[in-house]
Amino acid sequence: MPFRLRRPAAPPAGPPARFTRPSAAAFLSFVVVAAFVVHGWVGGVALQPADLVEGVGRLGEFLAEAFPPDLDRVGAIASALLVTFEIALLGTLIGVLLSVPLAVAAARNTTPNRLVYLVTRGFVSVCRTIPDLVWALIFVVAVGLGPQAGVLAVAVDVLGLCGRFFAEAIEEIDDGVLEGLRSGGAPERAVVAGAVLPTCLPSFAGTSMFALESAVRSSVTIGLVGAGGIGIELSVSMSLLRYDEALTIILAIFVVVLGVERFSAALRRRIMEGASR
C-alpha cells in the first residue's frame, strides 16, 4: 500500500477559546471597576508622585523628632497597654464562648430548622461585616467611655469571625457520623457534645487564636474613639506633637502584638500536632 502524506487539518476559525467573548455580566463588572479606578485617580484618591515625595519628607521630620523615644511616662504607657491586652483577652473569651452555640445553630447539619439557620447566619453576617471601630462607637454611646465599651466591641467582632468559621467547621463533619448517632436514638445535645465538639475542637482552638491576634490589634484602634486602652494615649501624644512619646507607645504596641502572635502560632502548632496523632 503506497504511503501518503496527510494534509494537516485546517486551524479552527475564530479566536482561541481563551479569548472567548465575555458575558454581559462580566463586561459590565469590568466597566464598573474601571470607572471606579478612573474616578479615584482623577478625584485625588490615588497617591500622586508629588504627594509621595512630600510625605517622605514629613516622615523624615517625624522620625527626627521621635528619636530617641521618651521613657518618662513608661509606667502609664505600660498600664494602658495592660488594659488594652485585657480588653482583647476578655472580648475574645466572651466572643468565643458565645460563638459555639451560635455556630451549632448556624450549621446546616446541626441547626434545628431553616428559620433558625437563616436568623443566626444573618446575625453572624451583621457582626462580621460592621467594622470593629463602628461597634466601638456604638458601645461608647451605649455604656459610656472606657474599657467596657472596648470589651463589648471586641466580643461582637470576634463573634462574627468565630461564628462563621466555627459553623463551617461543623458543616465539614462527616454526615454519616451524625446520622449514626441520631439513628441510634441519641438526643441532639448528645450528638453535639459527643461528636461535634470533640471533632471540631482543634479547629475551634486554632480559630480562637487567630481571633485573639486580631483582637489585640483591634483593641489598639478602638481606643482612639474612647473605648479604653493604649489608643487614647497614642492619640493624645500625636495631637500634642509629642512624637518621642508616641514612638515609645508604638514600640510598646509592636512588642505586645508580636508576643501575642508568637504565642498564638506556637499554641496552634501544638494543637495541630496533638490533633494529628
Q: The domain that contains 155 carries what CATH number? A: 1.10.3720.10
Instruction: Tell whether 180 is covered by a domain.
Output: yes
The grid coordinates listed for 112 are: 434545628
Instruction: Tell whether 100 is covered by a domain.
Output: yes
Average pLDDT over residues 127-139: 91
Instruction: Tell whether 37 is covered by a domain.
Output: no
Cβ neighbours of residue 190 closer than 8 Å, sequence gap 6 or more: 181
Cis bond leading into 49, ω under 30°?
no
* Length reported for the chain: 277
Which range of residues forms the domain containing residue 237?
Answer: 72-276
Q: Is the pLDDT of residue 17 over 70?
A: no
Cβ neighbours of residue 119 closer than 8 Å, sequence gap 6 or more: none
Instruction: Tell whether 101 is covered by a domain.
Output: yes
Per-residue model confidence (pLDDT) at position 155? 95
Q: pTM of the entire structure? A: 0.80
Of 100, 165, 164, the C-alpha closest to 126 is 164
- Phi, psi angles (nearest 5°) of residue 70: -90, 120
Per-residue model confidence (pLDDT) at position 161? 92
Instruction: Tell whether 201 is covered by a domain.
Output: yes
Count of the separate structural domains present in the chain: 1
**What whole-number distance in Å separates Cα of residue 103 and Cα of residue 96?**
10
Amino acid at 63: L
Instruction: Tell whether 8 is covered by a domain.
Output: no
Q: Is the pLDDT of residue 163 over 90?
A: yes
Per-residue model confidence (pLDDT) at position 154? 94
Instruction: Tell whether 159 is covered by a domain.
Output: yes
Percent of the chain at pLDDT > 90 equals 31
The grid coordinates listed for 262 are: 508568637
Instruction: Tell whether 227 is covered by a domain.
Output: yes
Q: Is the pLDDT of residue 3 over 60?
A: no
**What whole-number distance in Å separates Cα of residue 150 and Cα of residue 70?**
27
| pLDDT-based confidence at residue 276 (cuts at 50, 70, 90) | low
Q: Is the pLDDT of residue 100 over 90?
A: yes
Per-residue model confidence (pLDDT) at position 125? 92
Per-residue model confidence (pLDDT) at position 196? 83
| pLDDT-based confidence at residue 11 (cuts at 50, 70, 90) | low
| pLDDT-based confidence at residue 62 (cuts at 50, 70, 90) | confident
- Listed in sequence order, the DSSP H helices in the chain are 24-42, 49-66, 74-106, 114-129, 132-143, 147-171, 175-183, 188-191, 197-222, 230-239, 243-276
Per-residue model confidence (pLDDT) at position 4? 59
Instruction: Give per-residue pLDDT as tens, 202-237.
Output: 889 889 999 999 999 899 888 888 888 888 888 888
Q: Among 177-181, 243-247, 265-269, which stretch is predicted with the lowest mean pLDDT?
A: 177-181
Percent of the chain at pLDDT > 70 equals 89
**What whole-number distance in Å separates Cα of residue 137 and Cα of residue 227?**
8
Average pLDDT over residues 238-260: 90
